[in-house]
Amino acid sequence: MSNQAVVTPEELNLLIEQTYKVENEFNELKSSYAHLQDTVEKVVEFLPNAIWIVNHDNTVFLQNSKARDLLELLKLLEFKDEDYEIKFNSLSYLVKTSNYKDKTMFSVIDITEQKRKENLATMGQMAAHLSHEIRNPIGSISLLSSTLKKRVIPENIPIVEEIQKSVYRIDRIIKATLMFSKGVEVTKTSFMWSDLKSSLDMSIGYYGYSKEISFIFPQDDFNISADKDLLEMLFSNFIVNAIDAIELDDNEDGVIEMIYKCDEKYHKFYIYDTGVDIESKQDLFEAFKSTKLKGNGLGLILSRQIAEAHNGSVNLLDSQKKCFEIKISI
């Protein structure tokens, strides 16, 4: 007689039922894990920074689309106990790392714009300090040159005038730098265009240039309610830039033309010149960036700030001739 246990049909059915139950629980657990993994992937995808979760053998366990776009950067990363910065493709990134069991997570944030603003603020503070230091001696030189001009013999007057023109250039830079560091504050008054034009004519005379340049300004007079000193700075910046562009051109002469229009909302000025084309349009309104030997990179950004402080705007138009549009709110 065999000692082998006999399995009854009832026991067999029970065993089968238990097997199905275990299989169902396993499938449910597997489904839950897949759902959880899918949820984690979606959460990681929505994070604003690049995320890598890396296995101990440096293979990627999980990453989002921002990380995929920076895959070459991953090769430069290393685990550190504290946050650190890294440069990659001319951009700055802040790297945060953490470990859990056999995996390491790298979180990489693009801080290029933040670093640019920090550097810009530092440059502005340094420039403002230097401008304050330079302002007093420049004022003395300006006063003494005016006195000297009255006393020198006639043939030496051109030399004194060149000194005055150089002082004027430095004074423009100082004013622009101080305004950039302090911000634009508008004090509106009512004045005529002819008054502003006279001030611009004087600025042109002080600036100086070597070529034959024709200046075509609006002849009709009209009233403006704005900050006259700020508008003088705004328009003189564009005129000076146009003069410099013509000086760099191969032609022996040039034209700077300003056309005026208005509507119910804005005074509109369109400034054209026949000088060299603009080399780097993307850097036009970037502080401390200039393609000119004489430039400090503040003229256009200050002009835009002045226009915006008057509820207006400054734009380079996409036209056949190089043209800037300046809007000042009426």
Residue 215: give its domain's CATH number: 3.30.565.10
Do 22 and 140 reside in the same domain of the chain?
Answer: no
* Non-local CB neighbours of 126 within 8 Å, separated by 6+ positions: none
Residues 98 and 37 in one domain: yes
* pLDDT the model gives residue 1: 47
Shared domain check, 314 and 200:
yes
Residue 207 belongs to domain spanning: 184-330
Q: What pLDDT is recorded for position 168? A: 77
**42, 155: one domain:** no
Q: What is the pLDDT of residue 5?
A: 58
CATH number at residue 137: 1.10.287
For residue 2, tell me if it sits in a domain: no
- Whole-model pTM: value is 0.56
Question: Residue holding tokens 């009255």?
Answer: 150
User: Cα–Cα distance between 162 and 187 in angstroms, integer?
Assistant: 33
Q: Which residues of the chain have pLDDT under 50?
A: 1
Q: Are residues 313 and 274 in the same domain?
A: yes
> Are 121 and 98 part of one and the same domain?
no
Residues 120 and 221 occupy one common structural domain: no
In angstroms, the CA 148 to CA 278 distance is 40
The Cα angle at residue 58 between residues 56 and 63, in degrees rounded to 5: 105
| Closest CA relative to residue 235, chosen from 302, 285, 295 | 302
Same domain, 174 and 206: no
What the block records as the tokens of 189 is 């008054």
Helices (H) and strands (E) in the chain, counts: 8, 12
Q: What is the pLDDT of residues 110-159, one digit of tens each?
A: 998 888 878 767 766 776 777 777 878 888 888 888 899 899 898 998 89
Residue 4 belongs to some domain of the structure: no
252 and 278, same structural domain?
yes
| Predicted pLDDT of residue 18 | 64
Cβ atoms 53, 105 nearer than 8 A: yes
pLDDT at 100: 83
Q: What pLDDT is stored for residue 94 in this prediction? A: 92
pLDDT of residue 22: 59
**Structure-block tokens of residue 215:** 């200046």
Query: Do 167 and 252 fall into the same domain?
Result: no
Q: Is residue 143 part of a domain?
A: yes
- Cβ pair 95, 85 in contact under 8 A: yes
Is 1 a domain residue? Answer: no
Among the candidates 143, 161, 183, a domain finishes at 183
CATH of the domain at 91: 3.30.450
